[in-house]
Amino acid sequence: MQLITWLLRLIIFVVLICFSLINSKDITLHYYQHQSVELPLSVILLVFFALGVLLTILTTPRNTVAKKVDRFQSDRVGGQE
């Protein structure tokens, strides 16, 4: 199972490297009044993808099943004393 996971990760990594090599054209990103930055398209896509992942992690509720198990165990330990 670990071999399949690592092979899948390697395939995704190679695809992303190929994608970044194809999209290496510089673009200008205007972000504040007359401020701008010129970066490769692949870098900008990577940054916004990472921001999306971060926002998803921060806004997704934590695993409620684990909370229920912890609550059950704490109630069980508290009831035995």
Name the residue with higher pLDDT: 73 or 18. 18
Three-class SS string for the chain? CHHHHHHHHHHHHHHHHHHHHHCCCEEEEEEECCEEEEEEHHHHHHHHHHHHHHHHHHHCCCCHHHHHHHHHHHHHHHHHC
Position 69 in a domain: yes
Position 14 in a domain: yes
Tens-place pLDDT, residues 26-71: 999 888 888 999 998 888 888 898 999 899 888 887 776 667 777 7
Q: Domain count of the chain? A: 1
CA distances from 18 to 12, 22, 28, 62 (A): 10, 6, 22, 35
pLDDT of residue 65: 67
- Expressed as residue numbers, the domain containing 10 is 2-74
Q: Is the predicted pLDDT of residue 79 greater than 70, yes or no? A: no
Q: What global pTM score does this model have?
A: 0.54
pLDDT of residue 23: 79
